[in-house]
Structure 1
Amino acid sequence: MPSRSTARLAALTVAAVCSAASAVVLTSPAHADTVRIHDIQGTTRLSPYAGQKVTDVPGIVTATRTYGSSKGFWFQDTTPDDNPATSEGIFVYTGSTPKVAVGDSVTVTGTVSEYVPGGAASGGQSVTEITKPTITTVSTGNAVPAPVVIDAKSVPSRYTPQGDTANGGSIDNLPLRPGKYALDYYESLEGMNVQVKDARVVTATDRYAELWVTVKPHEHRDRRGGTVYGSYDSQNTGRLQIQSLGATADFPKANVGDTLTGTTTGPLDFNQYGGYTLVADQIGTLKSGGLQRETTKKQTRKQLAVATYNVENLDPSDKTFDQHAAAIVNNLQSPDIVSLEEIQDDNGATDDGTVDASVTVNKLIDAIVAAGGPKYDWRSIDPVNDEDGGQPGGNIRQVFLFNPERVSFVDRAGGDSTTAVGVVKEHGKAQLTASPGRIAPADAAWQDSRKPLAGQFVFRGKTVFVIANHLDSKGGDQSLASQYQPPTRSSEIQRHAQATVVNAFVKDILKVQKNADVLALGDMNDFEFSDTTKILEGRGELWSAIKSLPRSERYTYDYQGNSQVLDQILISPAVRRDSFQYDSVHINSEFNDQISDHDPQVLRFRP
């Protein structure tokens, strides 16, 4: 997944930055002199009063936001209606530090706005707000309305209604059915004071002081405490993001499987980086689940161990070399071949034309030796400057590390950044025309994206073909909580084209040698059940070996409360027949002190 910029750090201190450019102007009823909050919120996602002025709206202040660019406060009606679809709370955008306090009884006059965090082009849902307010304090020191408890019983098992095809697939104008759909339930509480109790952490605390919990402890639970994302039709409805209204320095540093014991309370907001979010003015006490990093089995003398590991924009200035080395030596047990993704050039993100990565790679190799591992050799091909996507100036690429005491690399001249590798037949066996070589680097499928690196290895006299991949990221896809349901996954277009090219190359090998041992591995940026994977697999040319694991263990990445697969090792029929062993080694994705956001994958087999 793409790294998030420092701009997001500022953005995360706000849940809904009020911006005229992002406001949705709607046709609404005639001006109303006095309305209640539930009238403004209405029975759909869009207020019937959007764009209109409302006068003397009453309520009790439940929370204030005094930081960031979205200063304001939430207030809530103490006289609710009897319609579960209408929220009784709303955010008031003041633009400066609000001059009210929690417990104040106020009336608010202002303009109703539908603000879309991230802008309308993001496809996100909108937040109903009152802007340009005039605030009158009626009394102070009042009791705050009791929070609505969000739990396994209250959240429906179905995630979202189907979007309205007449409205481009949007759910904005559909009547809310909070008893049937989870997204409708959360929307019916937008702006209200809510609470979760004894909630298990399902995504670790990140650099932006946010984490995810589940209110459904048994929903698709994996054995380490996370929540597995197993199909597009099997959403995890109990996920909820937690942020803090207080100092982020005090925010708990949680791992997956930990628990926020007691109560976590605050207004329910919506933002572009996770959807519905409990912005906590009271956070439960963190109880450790005792999660430990995994260690895979050591390969036997006759087994070839091949790993893939996304080291997340590694460059010589990083402080993580020793940790990555220790992970490769100890947790991965020094695989014979390691395919690395996101190796940056020798000066990292400095965009001065440098493409060589030998300093980066050799620094890692030296750290591996210092950690007690083998002296790996390596092969790679430098990309054309600024043509492979990733962090600007970083020139990320895939790199093969291999242990020359266990495996040899077949070097064949001719491979460079722009020359396509091919397959030929020699003595009845498949051979690469260049090793290492890049697969179809001029194909449009690889525009601004990493080109696959193919290499030919020999282990105990047997040839093994390894194709290192880093397919196009999911950047630009609509979120699971999008106003469009199902959300559009626009990034699939390029990824499908890339998968088609990779599968065609594997076919070329298997046409020459039916029983060839072929591995296509790396950060595929897509799920094991996705169409991308199905295209890679083709008609049996490859098979994603992570599917050999129980469903509860199929994950390599943790995003917004979903433990999911992005990294894969796909194997040819000959490898599949070789009694292989597969392991997703969980050392990063579940931890707040991760050195990469991906878990490495290891395959052991006997060629």
Structure 2
Amino acid sequence: MISSLHVIAHATAAPELTPIPKIQGSGTASSLLDKPVTTSGVITGIGSYTDKQGVAHQEFYVQDPAGDGNAKTSDALVARPTGTVDAKVGQAILVSGTVSEYHEITAIDGATISVDPNGTADAKLAPTLLKLPSTETAAATYLEARESMLSGMDDTFVVTPTQSYGTFTVVDAVTHGPNKDYDKHDQASHLQVASGLGERIEVATGDRITGIVGPLDQGQDAYQILLRDKVHVVAGPKPPAMWGDLDGDGSISAGDLAALKARQGSAASGPLDAADLDGNGKVTASDTKLATARAARMASTAPTFSVANVNAENFFDTVDDAHKRDTVVSPAQLEAKVAGLAKLISGELDGPSIVAMEEVENATVLEALLQAPSMQALGYKFELLPGPDLRGINTALLYRAEQGITVSNVRQLQGKSDLGKKPGSDLFARPPLTIDVDIKGPKGMQDERLTVLVNHFMSAYSPGGTPTEPWRIEQSKFIVDAANDLQKAAPDRNVLVIGDLNANESSKPITMLSAAGSPLENVTERYVPKGERYSYTYMGSAEQLDHMFLTKQAADRVQFAGVHHVHADQPAAGSARPTDHDIVETRIEFAPTPAR
């Protein structure tokens, strides 16, 4: 059915044509911008876009089948009619309209589309197989020259699962290999794949995909293939419970170490290979050394208490707070969220002694969480103080009172900054929740005295898209100063700094927390193998956003530290994951009572 004035019809006369490669040119924008043109090509994909007024429109990916033979110019562009056109992939068409650049894609707007009487239909136009260069600058130039062209990747590993908006990230399985990329390293090798033209698929990190084909578009400031054809997916393994535990029994045994040695010199089997402890895509003697050290610490039988961090990702209630930009969820959504978090804390984490939480709206949702049957049996209590965050999300602390844990001196810390709109603005939208925690030690062990600072640093970008690292640097400096002050005031109390710091481990806001002059040590950096050391995945990068720092006296007593990879490598839709963050956990031995 044709439902537009822009009708697919036979042209009455052959117009003067401007070839698509000439419209595209070799630069980042067309030299014919805002000029009227007529061109021809074959439809390789049909999708839609939303204009600045929020109205959805058709868009056609149109490619010159012959091209101009110039590797620096794209042979395709996007045609955007103002109405609806009845057309199909493979048709040869004429397109007349005005050249535009929208979202950095060269297009013909206000397009009139008609059948090309001299064109040849081709529903099986071969895609250009992408071979990404090794640097980001070269990759950007390479992809710009293939903008809108029918493109493909033949054999890939998924390195970021399907996100809520339907996009996942792949790397070439041969040229890149099975290793993960940490902290936004090696971004040039990553390519986004979106389900803009076909059926959405849900894939997980480590899945292997062949036959990715679709037009090359842009989204989220990155190039992406709009998946058009069906692909073949071979599901990868689930993330290991612990790197070094090859047989998955929850420990690193002599058998695991022997298997590691036997695999030395081989490539990792995929991005989630438990044998690749240092995360470089290979199994080497370094991996065996890391696993051996981890096994030795875990062999200790000294009693411990445990600490975990859970970013609860938008843990909102069903009531609209008139003074906040909070999200209002349905009763069913809240029930599902509570069930998921309860299962996570009581099951996967086995009821840690202390749980730091972020993105919690209020006491109402925490009360609902603690009323879940599996949580009631653990005897948790909580502390939460509302803060000034515009969305109404706060930090909180759960603690198992039945284990002899008591809390006191519950307060929020706040600093001032000149980085805001007004000098002397609050440094924290989510002030560190600071609590003195006392844990009763078992017989023959000292009681543990902690001051816990639960943090949720400023997001990586402001709502307007401005990078915010200067804020997080100031926030880190404030935390270091606070830790020093706490140690001076109470030397017998260890300090635990924990939370979602919205920065990866190599960034300045994180490195300065344990730099010279700080009393803190980075627990995950010291004890967790690099391959396991991430808590969030985004656009191909495995990043550690959730961190744990301890003063040295307690850091030296860590028996185990690790990351529970139960969320970040799984697709957002169709899963029961209650949050998009993985969980950092550590088990700390009680200090023995000094001999008299």
Q: TM-score range by the shorter chain?
A: 0.7 to 0.9
What is the CA deviation profile of residues 43-92 of structure 1, one whole-angstrom value per residue up to 9, with x for unaligned ones?
221111112222x3222221122576241211111232232111111011
Are residues 1:207 and 2:154 paired?
no
Are residues 1:136 and 2:136 paired?
no
Kindly provide the amino acid, as one letter, of the partner of residue 448 in structure 2: K
* Contact 1:221–1:552 under 8 Å retained in 2: no
After superposition, residues 47-58 of structure 1 pair within 5 angstroms as 47-54=30-37, 56-58=38-40
1:189 is aligned to 146
495, 501, 504: which one aligns with 2:472:
495
Specify whether residues 382 and 577 from structure 1 end up closer, same or farther in structure 2 by C-alpha distance, changes over 3 A only: same
* Contact 2:370–2:376 under 8 Å retained in 1: no
* Contact 2:568–2:580 under 8 Å retained in 1: yes
Pairwise CA distance, 1:268: 0.4
Are residues 1:458 and 2:438 paired?
yes
Structure 1: distance between partners of 2:143 and 2:463: 22
* Contact 1:156–1:182 under 8 Å retained in 2: yes
Are residues 1:308 and 2:309 paired?
yes
Are residues 1:65 and 2:66 paired?
no
Structure 2: distance between partners of 1:478 and 1:196: 34
Structure 2: distance between partners of 1:551 and 1:98: 52
1:236 is aligned to 187
What is the CA deviation profile of residues 19-63 of structure 1, one whole-angstrom value per residue up to 9, with x for unaligned ones?
xxxxxxxxxxxxx96432112212221111112222x32222211
1:254 is aligned to 203
What is the CA deviation profile of residues 140-171 of structure 1, one whole-angstrom value per residue up to 9, with x for unaligned ones?
76225310012xxx2111112xxxxxxxxxxx
Specify whether residues 78 and 306 from structure 1 end up closer, same or farther in structure 2 by C-alpha distance, changes over 3 A only: same
1:280 is aligned to 227
Kindly provide the amino acid, as one letter, of the partner of residue 308 in structure 2: A
Are residues 1:595 and 2:595 paired?
no
2:10 is aligned to none
Structure 2: distance between partners of 1:251 and 1:141: 31
Are residues 1:36 and 2:10 paired?
no
Structure 2: distance between partners of 1:406 and 1:282: 56
396, 410, 415: which one aligns with 1:399:
396
Specify whether residues 498 and 217 from structure 1 end up closer, same or farther in structure 2 by C-alpha distance, changes over 3 A only: farther
What is the CA deviation profile of residues 179-221 of structure 1, one whole-angstrom value per residue up to 9, with x for unaligned ones?
xx11211111111001122322222223333322222467484
Kindly provide the amino acid, as one letter, of the partner of residue 41 in structure 1: Q
79, 96, 101: which one aligns with 1:109:
96
Pairwise CA distance, 1:506: 0.6
Structure 2: distance between partners of 1:446 and 1:293: 41
2:360 is aligned to 343
What is the CA deviation profile of residues 547-601 of structure 1, one whole-angstrom value per residue up to 9, with x for unaligned ones?
2323222210111222111111122222232244211111111112221011111
Pairwise CA distance, 1:522: 0.3
Q: Which sections of structure 2, spanning at least 5 residues, go unmatched?
A: 1-14, 51-55, 243-249, 252-297, 318-330, 418-423, 442-446, 591-596
Pairwise CA distance, 1:518: 1.3
What is the CA deviation profile of residues 263-321 of structure 1, one whole-angstrom value per residue up to 9, with x for unaligned ones?
121110112x2521111220302322131574778996621211110111213441221
Specify whether residues 451 and 65 from structure 1 end up closer, same or farther in structure 2 by C-alpha distance, changes over 3 A only: same
Structure 2: distance between partners of 1:199 and 1:277: 14
Are residues 1:333 and 2:350 paired?
yes
1:529 is aligned to 506
Are residues 1:506 and 2:495 paired?
no
* Contact 1:210–1:242 under 8 Å retained in 2: yes
* Contact 2:160–2:169 under 8 Å retained in 1: yes
Are residues 1:265 and 2:213 paired?
yes
Are residues 1:550 and 2:499 paired?
no
Runs (4+) off by over 6 Å:
295-301
What is the CA deviation profile of residues 392-418 of structure 1, one whole-angstrom value per residue up to 9, with x for unaligned ones?
xxx22111111123342242xxxxxxx
What is the CA deviation profile of residues 319-348 of structure 1, one whole-angstrom value per residue up to 9, with x for unaligned ones?
221221111122112111101111112xxx
Are residues 1:468 and 2:446 paired?
no
Q: TM (normalized to structure 2)?
A: 0.75
1:585 is aligned to 564
SS in 2 for 1:257: coil
Specify whether residues 111 and 67 from structure 1 end up closer, same or farther in structure 2 by C-alpha distance, changes over 3 A only: closer
Kindly provide the amino acid, as one letter, of the partner of residue 341 in structure 1: E
1:437 is aligned to 411
Kindly provide the amino acid, as one letter, of the partner of residue 237 in structure 1: A
145, 150, 156: which one aligns with 2:133:
156
RMSD: 2.7
67, 77, 80: which one aligns with 1:90:
77
Structure 1: distance between partners of 2:177 and 2:438: 41
Are residues 1:376 and 2:380 paired?
yes
Structure 2: distance between partners of 1:251 and 1:464: 48
SS in 1 for 2:136: coil
Pairwise CA distance, 1:373: 4.8
1:388 is aligned to 389
Specify whether residues 246 and 33 from structure 1 end up closer, same or farther in structure 2 by C-alpha distance, changes over 3 A only: closer
2:341 is aligned to 324
Pairwise CA distance, 1:245: 4.2
Kindly provide the amino acid, as one letter, of the partner of residue 257 in structure 1: G
SS in 1 for 2:578: coil
What is the CA deviation profile of residues 349-407 of structure 1, one whole-angstrom value per residue up to 9, with x for unaligned ones?
xxxxxxxx1x311221222x526851112222233xxx223x3xxx2211111112334
Specify whether residues 300 and 526 from structure 1 end up closer, same or farther in structure 2 by C-alpha distance, changes over 3 A only: farther
